[in-house]
Structure 1
Amino acid sequence: MKVEIHNLGVIKELEIDLKPLTVFIGRNGTGKTWTASTLASIFGKHGLDRYFKSYIDGETQQKYPIIDNAIEQFIQEGNISIDLINFAEEYAEAYINDVAQSSLSLMKTFLSSEERDFQSRKISFNLATVKEEILDNVKKYSLEKQISFGSQGKEYLNIFKEIGEKNIYFNIISKDNFFKKIPIRLFKKLLLQEIFQILHSSFYSDVYRFPIQRTTFITFPFFLEKESLEFENVNFDETSNIDLDVKIIFEHSDKPKNKKTSEPVQSLIEILANACIKTTEEREKEIKKRPEIAIYADLAELLEKQVLQGKIDFNDPRLENKIFFQPSEKIKLEITAASSLVQGLTPLFLCLRYLAEPGELLIIDEPEIHLHPSVQVAITEFLAMLVQAGLKVLIITHSPYILDHLSNLMKAAKYKDKETIKDKFYLERTEAFIPQEKVSVYLFEDGIAKNILNQEGRIDWGTFGDVSDDISHIFP
């Protein structure tokens, strides 16, 4: 997926190609984190929420005649089907560009900047290289809901989409066979939220951010509230004054108390909270229903054993939540007493163990932070394994070890007999050998971003080498 950004802080203009593994490098203050935050503001749930509200309020530029026609048909007939593949083919690019425009109001939150004016920023996406993947993701989406409405609670709006099918269906079901029309305002919101949710998640099914503050916030105990918002327990009628908003998409809302933080830190806290709330038993049930996510639990275990060299656990998810690290059977440490390596990588472990699903985007700011060079090399292999397992990864790094070893992994992917070379690598896994076509690397400098991955798979990280040359020549 290609993206162009203009006038974003120090960035004058850049064009980047987002691959399954995308790497940003460059000196401090060159716009790497701002670019990552911009992408998170668009592709994450905050971008979807903002766009939904803007569209309902009539503040967006893009309109969707297919949806308008479907609403008119539903008013007359009480049931419709919408061809989502046709909808995505026609509107996916227009949709994500309209979301980008709508996300301007989120930028101060995402970049923790009250002073900057982001209205001059321009961003656009070209989906030519990922269109088929997006359509395939739309087909894979499944949905089945029944939402009650009416004063007697005998009428239901049924919403259904099956895996592999292109159509989504909306129809009214009445227990007493008496047809009652659903309030049009309510139906429009319900239809839009489902259509937008499906299309939005076809880019990245979710976005998780791991900011550099992760080594601090992982040590904070926190309290949780859990509120259930089940569709089956909600009634609506024509006289209802409930202001339905996009929160109804979620079955429950898990939020730490009394937070007013920047979006990257907020995203990290949500990862910790949601991982803490979900028990191991619940995750195992999910794995039984969806075997394709078992690989993320396996990768979490590999991270524990081969990188962290110990086990991560909570004390009690119902009380004040503390995270513990157990390096051996006889030793159990609070996370505050664990090494910075453990503190820095525990959020990633929790995300994989309890939350991760295929197609999600992980944005990791400086994965090398507090890591010995040997661990930086191992984590490079691990990140490549995540990509090979169906996740998308964007990292911001200052580590020449990561870049050099990434080149090794791309070269290893070209070997015919990969088993014969795997013992040369830290994790000794051929799954870490990543094809070059899945990787993009960009150097940010002088207000632009330059592709520094050449056709042979070599990464030109001269920005680090220049410093080495400088200090080596201070004394003859």
Structure 2
Amino acid sequence: MKIAVKNLGAIKQAEIDLGKKLNVFCGPNGTGKTYLAYLIYSITSLNNKSLGRILEKEYINQLVSTNTTSIEIEVNKLWNYREEEVQTIKENLWNLFAVAENKSEKFFSKTEIQILDTFETFESQFTEMNFKKEIKLYGYKFIISKIKKTHNINITLDENQIKDQDFLRFLEIALLSRVYSILAFYPIVSSTIFPVERNSIYTFSEELSIRNNDRYEMIKELSSKKDINPMDLFFKPNTRYPQPIRDGLRVAENLENTQKLSSPYYDFATEIEKELLNGKVTVTNEGNVEFSSDKAPRVKLSFHQSSSIVKTLSSLVIYLKHLATKDDLVIIDEPELNLHPDNQIKLTRIFARLINQGIRLVISTHSDYIVREINNLIMVSSTDENPELVDLAKEMGYEKDEYLKLDDFKAYLFKYKNASAKQTEVVPIKCDKNGFDVETLDKTIEDLNDRSNQLFYALKYGKDYE
């Protein structure tokens, strides 16, 4: 699935291939990387899709009586659904970026968003889909499956599901919309994002509470305006924070329930705890995040007492322990944040294993260490063509499940064409079996090395240095 974007913030034009398992955004500050990451999140997040596609009584009755049903999907309706969702996202960019609605025209009137597949390609991909997935929605569990060469979707309920009125209402107004979302944006089932503000979300979640801010805004408007319908306020979106931050706060407010869930990627979380944090991140029954160091396991530190690396990585650890599912897209803004170079390299290798276990990644980075380690993982993946690399890769500690295939990877450089340019170009970076180069990082490092060498030799040889 390729998306094309024009005139979004600093970005003049960009085309991103979300079919790749790893997309890397590179470039100077203020070039639009975060804006594009937010947009990708909005397009791919399951929880942000609209509801309202009514499931017919026939299918509801089958699910209630037999716990299973089969629905034939009309491809043209699925195609129209995706087009409508993209249009809805465009119309609500003000909400995504926390801009006042009356300023939307000023900031986003020229923005264009498009998914580049043709209908024929979309239809072919849908026909070839072959999958079986367990989906959890609003606390309800389903298995959704599709067989190749058919247009039918099979839905199976958990046999222990309580079929009360709330559940029946969910079936009617939400289930079909969620099925459409999964199919229309396949193979990405849903996405989660870790913005740079992630190290503050758990620290200040109570102060930044979405629920509290919603109440405050309602009271404020009701007290200042006499002629206002309270129901309009109830359904009015909260735009105090950008959507990724709002969603992160909602997760933080629901940790007491989240910690009861278990993810198939739990072991990756424990590896991060062992190799990077040297301790354990836990969630109490009250939903508070605590950390205990391996050096003092009986001492429980509250989140605000913990080190910066714990604050930065805890949200990822909790996601991998409790929420991650196969075919999720994980978007991380600056994964190197607060990490020593050694830990940046370790985290990059964990990312590679996650990718090879079904998680997709979009990262934006300024880290030469992450870029170099990605290059190493691409190079060691050539062991089939270069048997002499096998022993060397083992000697260096690289495992086969860390290899990154070149076809699964894409990198992009965000940059201004020249000093007078007002918008950035987003250019695919050439990548081969040796990896890729980021010219903005390389030039900075070369300039720094040149200055260091000149100063060193001037100090060493004094007047004799030329």
TM-score normalised by length of structure 1: 0.69
Equivalent residue for 2:291, pick from 304, 309, 324: 324
Deviation, structure 1 residue 325: 3.1
- Compared with structure 1, are the counterparts of its residues 259 and 373 closer, same or farther at alpha carbon in structure 2 (3 Å cutoff)? same
Q: What do the CA deviations read for 1:118-159 (whole angstroms, capped 9, x no partner)?
A: 1321111134788777656674246899xxxxxxxxxxxxx9
> How many Å apart are 1:337 and its aligned residue?
2.4
CA gap 1:110/1:451 in 2 versus in 1, 3 angstroms: same
Measure, in 2, the Cα distance between the counterparts of 1:144 and 1:186.
Answer: 13
Structure 1 residue 363 corresponds to structure 2 residue 363: no
Which structure 1 residue ranges, 5 or more long, are not aligned? Answer: 57-66, 75-79, 146-158, 171-184, 227-242, 248-257, 284-292
AA aligned to 1:213 is E
Could you tell me how far 1:344 is from its partner in structure 2? 0.8
- The answer as to 2:113 corresponding to 1:123 is yes
Match of 1:286 in 2: none
Query: Does residue 192 of structure 2 align to residue 208 of structure 1?
Result: yes
Q: Distance in 1 between matches of 2:382 and 2:170?
A: 54
Distance in 2, Cα, partners of 1:22 & 1:189: 35
Residue from 327, 331, 335 that aligns with 2:303: 335
- Look up the equivalent residue of 2:352 and give its one-letter code: A
Deviations along 1:5-27, one digit per CA (max 9) or x if unpaired, are 11112211122222111100111
Mean CA deviation greater in 129-138 or 215-224 = 129-138
Shift of 1:326: 2.7
- Give 1:464's aligned amino acid: L
Where in structure 2 are the equivalents of 1:425-464 lying within 5 Å?
425=396, 428-446=398-416, 447-464=424-441
Contact in 2 for aligned 1:23/1:395 (Cα 8 Å): yes
**Which one-letter code corresponds to 2:305 in the other structure?**
A
- Aligned: 1:83 with 2:65: no
Aligned residues: 386
The residue type paired with residue 420 of structure 1 is D
Match of 1:40 in 2: 41
The equivalent residue for 1:398 is 366
The one-letter code sitting in structure 1 at the alignment partner of 2:17 is D
Gaps of 5+ in 2: 60-68, 156-168, 212-230, 417-423, 455-466
Q: Are residues 187 and 340 of structure 1, via their aligned partners in 2, closer, same or farther at CA, if it must alter by over 3 Å? A: closer
**Shift, 1:73, TM fit:** 10
For 1:163, the equivalent position in structure 2 comes to: 145
Distance across 2 between alignment mates of 1:467 and 1:273: 42
Go from structure 1 to structure 2 and tell me whether the alpha carbon gap of 1:122 and 1:474 turns closer, same or farther (over 3 Å shift).
same
In the TM superposition, what is the alpha-carbon distance from 1:102 to its structure 2 partner?
1.1
CA distance in structure 2 between the aligned counterparts of 1:187 and 1:343, rounded to whole angstroms: 38
Distance 1:337 1:136, change over 3 A: farther
Matched AA of 1:412: V
Cα RMSD over matched residues?
A: 4.0
Q: Report the TM-score, using the length of structure 2 for normalisation.
A: 0.71
Deviation at 1:378, TM superposition (A): 1.0
1:420 is aligned, of 353, 368, 391, to: 391
1:301-349 CA-partner distances (Å, limit 9, x unpaired): 11111122211112x323x623223333344322222221121111111
C-alpha change, 1:83 and 1:399, in structure 2 (3 Å) is same
Whether contact under 8 Å (2:2, 2:17) holds in the other structure is yes
Shift of 1:195: 4.3
In the alignment, which residue of structure 1 is the partner of 2:10? 10
Shift of 1:408: 0.6
Secondary structure of the 1:219 match is: coil
C-alpha distance in structure 1 between counterparts of 2:42 and 2:96, whole Å: 7
Equivalent position of 2:26 in the other structure: 25
CA distance change for structure 1 residues 160 and 24 in 2, over 3 Å: closer, same or farther? closer
Residues 466 and 276 (structure 1), Cα distance of their counterparts in 2 relative to 1, 3 Å cut: farther
How far off its partner does 1:99 sit?
1.5
CA distance in 1, matches of 2:142, 2:429: 46
Higher deviation after alignment, 456-465 or 33-42: 456-465
> Hey, what does 1:140 align to over in structure 2?
132
2:208 corresponds to 1:218: no
Question: Per the alignment, do residues 195 and 302 of structure 1 end up closer, same or farther by CA in structure 2, a change over 3 Å counting?
Answer: closer
**1:102 partner amino acid:** T
Q: 1:457 to 1:274 in 2, by over 3 A?
A: farther
Q: AA paired with 1:344? A: T
C-alpha deviations, 1:169-199, integer Å up to 9, x for none?
A: 79xxxxxxxxxxxxxx999846752543442
Residue 349 of structure 1: aligned partner = 317
**2:225 match:** none
The aligned counterpart of 1:151 is: none
Tell me if the contact between 2:255 and 2:288 (Cα under 8 Å) persists in the aligned partners.
Answer: no
